[in-house]
Amino acid sequence: MASRKEGTGSAATSSSSTTGAAGKGKGKAGSGDSAVKQVQIDGLVVLKIIKHYQEEGQGTEVVQGVLLGLVVEDRLEITNCFPFPQHTEDDADFDEVQYQMEMMRSLRHVNIDHLHVGWYQSTYYGSFVTRALLDSQFSYQHAIEESVVLIYDPIKTAQGSLSLKAYRLTPKLMEVCKEKDFSPEALKKGNITFEHMFEEVPIVIKNSHLINVLMWELEKKSAVADKHELLSLASSSHLGKTLQLLMDRVDEMSQDIVKYNTYMRNTSKQQQQKHQYQQRRQQENMQRQSRGEPPLPEEDLSKLFKPHQPPARMDSLLIAGQINTYCQNIKEFTAQNLGKLFMAQALQEYNS
Amino acid sequence: MATPAVPPSTPPATPTETPAAASDPAPAPSPASVSAPAPAPVPAPTPAPASSSDPAAAAATTAAPGQTPASAPAPAQAPAQSLPGPALPGPFPGGRVVRLHPVILASIVDSYERRNEGAARVIGTLLGTVDKHSVEVTNCFSVPHNESEDEVAVDMEFAKNMYELHKKVSPNELILGWYATGHDITEHSVLIHEYYSREAPNPIHLTVDTSLQNGRMSIKAYVSTLMGVPGRTMGVMFTPLTVKYAYYDTERIGVDLIMKTCFSPNRVIGLSSDLQQVGGASARIQDALSTVLQYAEDVLSGKVSADNTVGRFLMSLVNQVPKIVPEDFETMLNSNINDLLMVTYLANLTQSQIALNEKLVNL
């Protein structure tokens, strides 16, 4: 991830000036408004992402790639993309930045938009809210204000409908990340809750006329029947998997909470001790005064009682965000399934 | 579709002869293979793919320099000897089928739209894997080239570079051939094909007709084969291959979604919510069912003659609906609904829990 930051830094300095100027026109609407209201994706990009995952992604590994395009008013147009090779141990000398640079240079020769506008990642059952993602997205968004991360869920797509979502960091979170200060006070000041970490941007898919012609051609030529996976009632394994992941996260969260509780308890104990010490000091000083001796010097309390480290709040925020995403997914899933079950019931009643 | 493309190696002197050569059936080129003995007219399917790789390269190099008079009579003679029967459209005798993924075609169309000013067509490299029976093309990238009346220049350095970069992501992909937009194969195609035959054995040439001749975007694939009299200078002919479309499941779904832009006025569609998708899928099934019902009614009323295979399919379809006792179905349904409701409740509970936690921590 670190190398990608440098890559975007050097690659984006030229593009950020143009895209920044384009984005600021609408971005001034308010500090809460972000510069991108809609993401418009070419059909080609969708197909490429699908293909990349299908060929190179197995199991829980994520596949990633870079999105290229333009910013038009308040719309982010994504017109092309290229995949990133995966990290393997025997690729120690592989230079990500160089790969990216070469790829973009070559694409420029064939008139493909060479402006970075974001990156995409596949996800396993919806678990993508991680520190790594946050860091990457922050570096992208810092360099290019309008960048998004596209999350592609291949398992949900295989069940019948394309699952592609675009996320950005909220401006509040951007502020906090900029200062690199993840302490509880800073987060409290920013008033960041887990719901306000990522914002979802609506996606539309757009095709040129020629691609539409191509689609007609394909439709005529390839009469492959749909699999109708979408209407299958036996999808409990998917639900089971998601619940399993949810349970893991909730366990982590509870551990986090326990840590926080111990911290609070320790701090309050420490406060008490400090208080007691101060009182004893005062008493002694009074006694000494009454005896005419010089008072004891005030000692630095903070050296005697080292303050405890507050537990990192960022991680628990991320976990909460992830749990939130899982819950959303589950709710969507159950809504779909309930619909299907009611349909099955209606059909059965009609028969009997 | 029976006529292979104009043999591009033949110089301008032979356009009158090319229709004769072009009317050859697909099996004709195999007689020209050098390894076959004198009874050349018998089309020998199996050696053709193997031998055409080497002689094709040799033939292209001999044809390219202007040995025009010698090659002129060769195509004229070969058709006279080797016509075994009426021209048949069909797969390449080697049984080679080209399986294309839709992402390739979308890429090609996109690079055509972004071509430089004045360029009539774009070319690029095809990547993929080779199977025993077929060739599967899974990726492509466009290569800058300059084409004028007399000469063609392809930036092969660029092509090599891009291939290296692509190999880093998918190490299994090999160079399979090249593509070009436009509806005809020109003389320059032979030269380009020769460049590519240095990179890959027996390269495939794919044409995508973006100029929409005949109102359709025709997509054709070719392999170059030798033709001509053995012992003389050989010509090169492009013979067609069958093109099939291969989809991964997820690709199928993606293509279905993208296809919807054909129907919207400004070619823009949004992603639908979950219940809408269920609604859409059930509408599709409803349409399919009404078509089947219509067919059944037609057969019953005698409008359409009954077809046994269709009847068998219908039979298996009807038998697939499970016969469930209503009480059992009730219990199954209720337990499923209970599960789902419970899970929804849990999800909501968890969400409120973490929201509460958030508030408490921020006190």
> Would you say residue B319 lies in a domain?
no
Based on its alpha-carbon atoms, the radius of gyration of chain B, rounded to whole angstroms, reads: 28
Q: Which amino acid is at B77?
A: Q
Is there a single domain that holds both residue B117 and residue B240? yes
> Would you say residue B152 lies in a domain?
yes
Q: Dig out the tokens for B245 from the structure.
A: 């479309």
Asked whether B245 and A223 are in contact (CB, 8 A), the reply is no
- Residue A189's pLDDT is what? 65
* Last residue of one domain, picked from the residues B229, B247, B265: B247
A285 contacts: CB under 8 Å, gap ≥ 6: A295, A296
d(C-alpha A235, C-alpha A338), whole Å: 12
Is there a single domain that holds both residue A164 and residue A48? yes
> Would you say residue B154 lies in a domain?
yes
* Last residue of one domain, picked from the residues A171, A196, A225: A225
Q: How confident is the model at residue B209 (pLDDT cuts 50, 70, 90)?
A: confident
Three-state DSSP class for residue B339: helix
Is there a single domain that holds both residue A334 and residue A260? yes
A216 contacts: CB under 8 Å, gap ≥ 6: B262
Instruction: Calculate the dihedral angle through the C-alpha atoms of B63, B65, B68, B70, rounding to the nearest 10 degrees.
Output: -60
- A178/B351: higher pLDDT: B351
Query: Is the minimum CB–CB distance between B106 and chain A shorter than 8 Å?
Result: yes
> Would you say residue B162 lies in a domain?
yes
- Residue B60's nearest CA partner among B7, B124, B119 is B7
For B237-278, the pLDDT digits (tens) are 788 888 888 777 778 778 877 777 777 666 566 666 677 777
Query: Is the minimum CB–CB distance between B300 and chain A shorter than 8 Å?
Result: no
CB contact under 8 A, A227 and B268: no
Three-state DSSP class for residue A278: helix
> Would you say residue A249 lies in a domain?
yes
Instruction: Tell me which of B278, B313, B323, B325 to substitute to probe the interface with A (most A C-beta atoms closer than 10 Å).
Output: B278
Asked whether B261 and A207 are in contact (CB, 8 A), the reply is yes
Least confident segment among A86-100, B59-73, B220-234: B59-73
d(C-alpha A132, C-alpha B36), whole Å: 63
Dihedral sign for Cα B283, B287, B289, B293, please. Answer: positive
CATH of residue A207: 3.40.140.10
How many domains would you assign to chain A?
2
* Last residue of one domain, picked from the residues A225, A254, A270: A225
Query: Is the minimum CB–CB distance between B211 and chain A shorter than 8 Å?
Result: no
Is there a single domain that holds both residue A214 and residue A332? no
> Would you say residue B156 lies in a domain?
yes
CB contact under 8 A, A44 and B103: yes
Asked whether B210 and A210 are in contact (CB, 8 A), the reply is yes
Q: Which of residues 239-278 of B touch A (CB under 8 A)?
A: 244-245, 247-259, 261-262, 267-275, 277-278
Is there a single domain that holds both residue B227 and residue B342? no
d(C-alpha B138, C-alpha A55), whole Å: 9
d(C-alpha B316, C-alpha B319), whole Å: 5
Distance from first CA to last CA of chain B, Å, rounded?
77
- Residue B52's pLDDT is what? 37
Is there a single domain that holds both residue B226 and residue B348? no
* Last residue of one domain, picked from the residues A204, A225, A246: A225
pTM of the prediction? 0.71
CB contact under 8 A, A51 and B139: yes
Residue A124 carries which DSSP code?
Answer: S
Q: How confident is the model at residue B49 (pLDDT cuts 50, 70, 90)?
A: very low
* Last residue of one domain, picked from the residues B189, B222, B247: B247
ipTM of the complex: 0.73
Residue B45 carries which DSSP code?
Answer: T
Is there a single domain that holds both residue A65 and residue A212? yes
CB contact under 8 A, B270 and A226: no
Strands B97-100 and A64-72: unpaired
In which domain, by residue range, is A278 found? 233-287+306-351
How many other CB atoms are there within 10 angstroms of residue B277's CB atom?
A: 20
Is there a single domain that holds both residue A115 and residue A163? yes
CB contact under 8 A, B247 and A341: no
> Would you say residue B284 lies in a domain?
no
How many other CB atoms are there within 10 angstroms of residue B350's CB atom?
A: 21
Is there a single domain that holds both residue A278 and residue A209? no
Q: How confident is the model at residue A185 (pLDDT cuts 50, 70, 90)?
A: low
Cβ-in-10-Å burial (0-12, 13-18, 19+) of A192 comes to: buried
Is there a single domain that holds both residue A155 and residue A209? yes
How many domains would you assign to chain B?
2
Asked whether A239 and A333 are in contact (CB, 8 A), the reply is yes
CB contact under 8 A, A106 and B158: yes
- Residue A182's pLDDT is what? 62
Is there a single domain that holds both residue B236 and residue B346? no
In which domain, by residue range, is B348 found? 325-362
Measured between beta carbons, which residues in chain B are less than 8 angstroms from residue A213?
212, 217
A172 contacts: CB under 8 Å, gap ≥ 6: A190, A191, A192, A196
Asked whether B267 and A209 are in contact (CB, 8 A), the reply is yes
Query: Is the minimum CB–CB distance between B352 and chain A shorter than 8 Å?
Result: no
- B121/B11: higher pLDDT: B121
What Å distances lie between residue B339 and A335, B190, B346, B349, B360, CA to CA? 12, 65, 11, 15, 31
CB contact under 8 A, B103 and A51: yes
Instruction: State the average pLDDT for chain B.
Output: 69
